[in-house]
Structure formats: C-alpha cells, structure tokens
C-alpha cells in the first residue's frame, strides 16, 4: 500500500507544481493568494476526523508539498 500511496503523492505533487508554475504567468498572480490557498489545504487536511482514506490523503499530502515547495522557491527568488 505504501508504494501506491507514494505514487499518488508523487503524481499529485508533479501536477500541482506544474499548475502553479503555469499560473505564475497569469496577470493577476499573487503570492499572497497562493499562501491563502495553502492555508485552506492545511485546514482541509485537519478535517479528517471521520477518515477519508489513503488515496485522498495522498492527494492532499502531494498538494500541500507542492504548494510549500512553490512558495519557498518564489520567496528565495525575491532575495
């Protein structure tokens, strides 16, 4: 089961990161909006009191990691 979980995390990470990179070229792109979106994913992740299953959790984990990496990259570019 760990192999499937890791594949889903990796695939989701790649897709979300690519999507974020593409969004960067849009005129109304805002780092603050991206940070707010990440905050929403953190909240969604914390709402798992009934159990959502490994597949959905892997998607959420991959999404959060992609947002974190993307934000970190943008903040380093500003230095």
Domain parsing of the chain, residue ranges: 2-77
Q: 50 pLDDT exceeds 60?
A: yes
Nearest to 9 by CA among 43, 71, 58: 58
Average pLDDT, the chain: 92
Contact 38, 68 (CB under 8 A): yes
Mean pLDDT value of segment 35-50: 90
Of 4-8, 20-24, 34-38, 75-79, give the lowest mean pLDDT range. Answer: 75-79
pLDDT at residue 46, rounded to an integer: 84
Cβ-proximal residues to 65 (8 Å cutoff; 6+ apart), any chain = 9, 13
Tokens coding 67: 């947002």
Helix H or strand E segment including 22: helix 2-23
Q: 60 pLDDT exceeds 60?
A: yes
d(C-alpha 35, C-alpha 22), whole Å: 16
Interval 21-30: pLDDT, tens: 999 988 889 9
User: Residue 31: CA atoms inside 13 Å, Cβ hemisphere, count?
Assistant: 11
pTM as predicted: 0.90
């Amino acid at each position: 089961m760990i192999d499937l979980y890791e594949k889903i995390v990796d695939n989701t990470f790649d897709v979300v990161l690519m999507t974020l990179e593409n969004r960067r070229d849009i005129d109304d792109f805002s780092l603050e909006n991206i940070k707010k979106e990440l905050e929403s994913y953190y909240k969604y992740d914390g709402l798992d009191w009934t159990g959502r299953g490994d597949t959905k959790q892997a998607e959420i984990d991959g999404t959060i990691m992609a947002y974190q990496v993307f934000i970190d990259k943008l903040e380093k570019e500003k230095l």
